[in-house]
A and B are shown apart, each in its own frame.
Chain A
Amino acid sequence: MKLEFTLPWGPISATQLAFYCSAVGVADPIHYDRATVAEVGMKDVVANGSLRVAMIEVAIRRAFANHPDLLIEKLECRHRAPLYRGQTARIRVVSAAAAGRIDCQVETTVEDSLVDSATAELSLPESTLIELSEKGLVRS
């Protein structure tokens, strides 16, 4: 049995990209300087790969009501296409639970085009699984 959750993200703003760069210490101007991206022939500033992965973690955690016991044991993400300022993305999490483990397939799309694909392996204490199951957030 599978459960699905979708997190809308965007439109992605220049403010968010610049603020994220400042917050995590990324100084590459392709994420915030439109003059630089014009020089290198890109159509706009792009979201950081690490920001995209962080938003995937946000979507996974939201899918499980931000439960503090949730441990993401493995998260593997591949970027398939750039994600530009002004675009609106949808992060779709499909999860399946069995024997104290939850496996997730995650896709980030923009207008049905895939920009990120990811898989995640999660673990939760049995008591938490039961609690989330009672809330309808996990089905095994």
Chain B
Amino acid sequence: MERSDNRETELLGHEVRTGQTTVCNERLQLFLEALGLSGWDPSGPVPVTFVPRCFRDWVDVTRDVRPGPVLDGFGLEKGVNAGITISAKLPVFVGDRLHLTEKVAEVREKEGASGALIFVTVRQTIRREKEDIGIVQENDMLTVYRRGAEK
């Protein structure tokens, strides 16, 4: 157990990524089209579930694009998305300039039938530029990993 406790300490607070972007109508329309939605008013608030997606680049899935795991280097095997919690304080609009910080907020370990399961919560904190209130959205993403190769 001592080793896994140390690993948890290493993971906690680990900064996964940071970034900034401008909420773009073209990407919003692609997102809405993927959901089968039409007629969304682009001058109104964007869907809360779209906001964290603004920070990803377009991917051509017809090509062999296989990035490493988000927490590469921590000895975790590929994870399964177990859930998400979104908290929004203010609506977000097309044209807003947003800043993202993504950190490991919680790590729990459970012993499963086939070995250790690691429950990792990554918190995305999204702020709007020049916004007095600061945070516009926080997303906690829970992913379950298996203990993999040594770091």
Contacts and interface: CB of A to CB of B under 8 A. Distances in A.
| Interface residue tally on A, bucketed by range | 20 to 34
Interface residues of B, number: 39
Interface stretch (B5-13, B49-57, B105-113, B126-134): B49-57
Interface stretch (B79-87, B96-104, B114-122): B79-87
Contact of A71 (B30, B36, B59, B88): B88
A122 to B, nearest CB: 10
Interface string A6-23: 000000000010111111
A132 interface: no
B150 interface: no
A27 B68 CA distance: 10
Interface of B: 27, 30-31, 33-37, 40-41, 44-45, 47-50, 52-53, 56-61, 65-67, 81-91, 142
Interface of A: 16, 18-27, 29, 32, 48-51, 53-55, 57-58, 61, 66, 68, 71-79
